[in-house]
Amino acid sequence: MAASFQIWHCLLALLLLAPAAQGQLSPSFYARSCPTLGLIVRATTIRALLAERRMGASLIRLFFHDCFVQGCDASILLDDVGSFVGEKGAGPNVNSVRGYEVIDQIKATVEAVCPGVVSCADIVALAARDSTFLLGGPTWAVPLGRRDSTTASQSLANSDLPSPASDLATLISAFGNKGLSPRDLTALSGAHTIGFSQCQNFRGRIYNDTNIDAAFAALRRRTCPAAQGSGDGNLAPLDVQTQLLFDNAYYRNLVGQRGLLHSDQVLFNGGSQDALVRQYSTNPALFSADFAAAMVKMGNISPLTGSAGQIRANCRVVNSS
């Protein structure tokens, strides 16, 4: 009896210590193969945010723009090389998506400690989580074990990433196509509690929309001229209240008709998400819990696992055969 009890305990210990089975993501995937991974990502992300706090929002957005095109496979990190066309030049990404250098820094440090083990896709997922937490938001266990793509798709980046001018039905459809619910959409949009957007993305909102607070529109018009091509790159905070703090002020802005993007304000405009926006605006704990759950869910979009894909040595290029 005692012997069988000891055998059972040994089997249980082996099960707990073993890496995740092929095809499954697990927070403990690198527990033995790269135990310092979490510390490296956290330390590098802290340095990046100390240098520029806005970078946290950029790293979260990088994760979103990666996962919505081919799944969470680091395809967005691939540079245009020779005849290879990546996703960086796609309309939603060009002169807009940032944070590539931070991922490079993390990858270089990880490769020095655990060469050929950790994917760029997992680094992007971890950096997004750490950025959220370091700016005052929730944390969560990130399922790991993704591998990196050998392909990218500029056409899918142009078609699958929602536009800042999208209406609610279009957003619900775009997120639904990725297996995300309307509730996930509304929670993930809360990432706009931090970061900035360019004038060209909200010009139509502040000059043409009627469901906008007049004082807020006037404030934004000061630095975003009406003429297209004039001040297109001028930045404004997505959250007029606490632009560098991850909180639920974004939803209070929506209730007050102070959403910066058209695609923000459609979440609170007499439609299906109004009630949830009101809940998030008064219940930060509910928002935090739903945001964390939705980030995990988004991170599970079509990952490459097992022997699919590769572990890139340099996140910007496919490994040479």
Is residue 53 within 8 Å of 134, Cβ to Cβ?
no
Residue 145 marked as a ligand binder: no
For the chain, strand residue ranges (E) read 196-198, 235-237
Q: What are phi and psi of 147, to 5 degrees?
A: -120, 170
Exposed / middle / buried, residue 156 (Cβ in 10 Å: 0-12, 13-18, 19+) = middle
- CA angle, 89 then 94 then 95, to 5°: 145
Token representation of residue 51: 């240098």
Residue 66 marked as a ligand binder: yes
Residue 259 marked as a ligand binder: no
| CA 234 – CA 206 distance, rounded (Å) | 14
Q: Radius of gyration of the chain from Cα atoms?
A: 21
Residue 262 falls in the annotated catalytic set: no
Residue 192 marked as a ligand binder: yes
Residue 242 marked as a ligand binder: yes
Residue 290 marked as a ligand binder: no
Q: Per the residue annotation, which of 65, 129, 203, 316 is the catalytic one?
A: 65
Residue 162 marked as a ligand binder: yes
Residue 213 marked as a ligand binder: no
Residue 38 marked as a ligand binder: no
Point out the annotated binding site for substrate: 162
Among all residues, which ones are annotated catalytic? Answer: 65
Point out the annotated binding site for heme b: 192
